[in-house]
Chain A
């Protein structure tokens, strides 16, 4: 089936040629959409504290509380987005709605003014858009690459995405310097930038054309879970999510150990992101070559090493650099790679829903892990908490390796990929 791909499709560099990026322009286009969207959203994130406190005279204490109420929205909407995209073979339209919703939400901020429920509702809409678009977008990325090149497709996308996360704050501060206290200008510019991304998506990204009349329903989604390797991947992702400490805690632990000066603290996530940016594509390519599950598991090995360093005797700058590097490796080896591993297993018509299920499982696991880790920290202190989690991760990793061992299915067997129908 995939023989035709090399004829009809013209990747920027042919997969397997060993040189070049080796992904289709569709992936680049999707990556650019994410990049520009990140600039748009980072602008708002950067001005929010000043806007709320200085501009509106609000307290962030109330705001933080309100915000927490909406955090659960995205997890649910991710499943909805995935399902709708499959159901109506409408990955691109659902993604457009998601991206559009987040862009339009930016205009809501100046409109609701100082109303705390209003601001909460706008942020909920923004986040709902993010929830809706993620699974259809990842399905599009997956369908835009050959099965052998899933890893590099996601690697390229995630690298471009991270460039946006780096650029966004810079753009935001440039605009802020120009506008002073005219915060609504930042929101309007953010809306315009967001709409550029939507235009790129509408004009340049092409949806996959589904041949069959059959429209997958919820039941087909459940049937996907009968595919044993896919099911194992879902369970492994959720279980490993359950022993993955949230980023905030990693940085808090570093701060706790190293007494990092406060104004350096916001730079810690950039360390992780920098390593991620550099390694996303190489590790994606490596995953295509030696096996995505293997790289996914190895990524969690890097995370385990980071835990051990955090709970170990090493200190100072070496600890800081080692942990941030390992944390970046963990993301580069797991984030896009998981989607690549899943994408290669799923039929085209059920790809968005299938991606949503595995990502949701992982997200729920990580959410639970944050709560548990917070409680452990409170009860036993940070050092013991991270050591306990290291042991749990080691056990989970061992079990996951057993569960996935010997079941590395070569993605180039399309018959197996499609037999779910």
Chain B
């Protein structure tokens, strides 16, 4: 290295043969680590997800009509990983039928299914697929972010989904959500609930950072419930929406991911009961006539939009603790009883009645 450089002279880089050689060595070493680790990690993941003895796809083709069953995403390690599967409602712990279609999240009712999936290799486009009763694709909509919630109205006409979006964050790494509603009969798509007029105590809410998620429809296919949150306050609210009027009204605070009972009288929802990041939520049921809340017997923090298996039982997925694997559980809707494991290795349940 030369030392004859003037103190105030602009600085030249040091590019000597030796340094270039050292850099080449470092480059080779780091490339080796990167490639070696990637190969190892990919093999390990493949083995973890597909190496098990879980049910393989096959048997009678999946359909949304027929005997009462539970539809879900199979997360058993094996060739059926990530694919849609069903079990008999009367024997959810029994053998499962696994189909060909893969979904990250699914919901179905009234002969219509919504499948949120990731397509393609390099570009990996998240999509919402509307499927008919034989799980054939009726419509494909590209999504702006990571799929999070999906719901179909009891008649099968209205479909809704929520994605997490990263692009329009207000702080550097925070997210926002985008919730869409599709009328499968007319084909009309409400791309973003944020375009609706939202009022709270008679005043219009205009905060730019409001987010909506977790829609659930009533029997009239026009009224719906959903969650509203603003990033600035971090609080969540229950809103009731009117699709035709494009309006929403705030009903109550601290309600997330509502799900309406088949008889339309109650909502099961996530209530934030702790500031802890490990166990923030507990499932509650809200009686819409009296506005009374009942905590359910499940004490684990449930981060899912619960479903109603029937008028007395709710279902939900809980992670098993290792990555994306999960189990489907149920708990009585009256606050009594105890949680029961319905399906081992399942996620995103939907009742097929």
Of the residues B9, B27, B164, B170, contact of A4 by C-beta under 8 Å: B9
Flag whether B313 is at the interface (Cβ < 8 A): no
For A, the interface residue count at a CB cutoff of 8 angstroms equals 91
Are B206 and A377 in touch, CB under 8 angstroms? yes
> A9 with B12: in contact, given A203-B19, A266-B167, A381-B206 (CB under 8 Å)?
yes
Of the residues A143, A204, A382, contact of B10 by C-beta under 8 Å: A143
Flag whether A405 is at the interface (Cβ < 8 A): no
Of the residues A29, A62, A203, contact of B277 by C-beta under 8 Å: A62
Are A176 and B166 in touch, CB under 8 angstroms? no
Q: Which residue of the partner chain B has the closest CB to A266?
A: B167
> A185 with B42: in contact, given A146-B10, A348-B8 (CB under 8 Å)?
yes
Among A177, A199, A255, which residue has the most Cβ atoms of chain B within 10 A?
A: A199
| Complex-state Cα separation, A49 to B164, whole angstroms | 8
Of the residues A49, A248, A265, contact of B175 by C-beta under 8 Å: A49
Interface positions, chain B 165-219, Cβ under 8 Å from A, are 165-175, 178, 191-192, 206-209
Are A64 and B175 in touch, CB under 8 angstroms? yes
Are A252 and B168 in touch, CB under 8 angstroms? yes
Are B38 and A203 in touch, CB under 8 angstroms? no
Interface positions, chain B 1-23, Cβ under 8 Å from A, are 4-15, 19, 22-23
Are B11 and A262 in touch, CB under 8 angstroms? no
Are A71 and B146 in touch, CB under 8 angstroms? no
Q: What interface size band does chain B fall in?
A: 35 or more
| Complex-state Cα separation, A348 to B11, whole angstroms | 12
Are A192 and B34 in touch, CB under 8 angstroms? yes
Q: Which residue of the partner chain B has the closest CB to A175?
A: B38
**A58 shortest CB reach to chain B, Å:** 8
B-contact bits for A367-381, CB 8 A (1 contact / 0 none): 000100010011101
> A57 with B303: in contact, given A67-B172, A185-B41 (CB under 8 Å)?
yes
Flag whether A313 is at the interface (Cβ < 8 A): no
Flag whether B136 is at the interface (Cβ < 8 A): no
Give every chain A residue within 8 A of B175 (Cβ-Cβ).
49, 60-61, 63-64
| Complex-state Cα separation, A160 to B326, whole angstroms | 44
Flag whether A211 is at the interface (Cβ < 8 A): yes
Are A265 and B144 in touch, CB under 8 angstroms? yes
A-contact bits for B303-318, CB 8 A (1 contact / 0 none): 1000000000000000
Are B208 and A382 in touch, CB under 8 angstroms? yes
Are A204 and B14 in touch, CB under 8 angstroms? yes
Among A64, A144, A196, A251, which residue has the most Cβ atoms of chain B within 10 A?
A: A64
**A72 shortest CB reach to chain B, Å:** 11
Are A262 and B143 in touch, CB under 8 angstroms? yes
> A64 with B174: in contact, given A177-B121, A263-B144 (CB under 8 Å)?
yes
Flag whether A420 is at the interface (Cβ < 8 A): no
B-contact bits for A106-120, CB 8 A (1 contact / 0 none): 000000000011000
Are B323 and A203 in touch, CB under 8 angstroms? no
Flag whether B59 is at the interface (Cβ < 8 A): no
Flag whether B280 is at the interface (Cβ < 8 A): yes
Write the residues of chain A forming the contact surface with B, with a CB cutoff of 8 angstroms.
1-2, 4-5, 8-11, 24-26, 28-29, 45, 48-50, 53-57, 59-68, 71, 116-117, 123, 140, 143-146, 173-182, 184-185, 188-189, 192-193, 195-196, 199-200, 203-211, 248-249, 251-252, 255, 261-263, 265-266, 268-269, 348, 370, 374, 377-379, 381-382, 414
21 contacts between A and B (CB under 8 A): A5-B6, A48-B166, A49-B146, A49-B175, A56-B323, A60-B164, A60-B174, A65-B174, A66-B277, A140-B11, A177-B122, A182-B44, A192-B31, A206-B12, A248-B169, A255-B168, A262-B165, A265-B168, A374-B232, A378-B208, A379-B206
User: What are the nearest 3 A-B pairs in CB distance?
Assistant: A64-B174, A262-B144, A266-B167
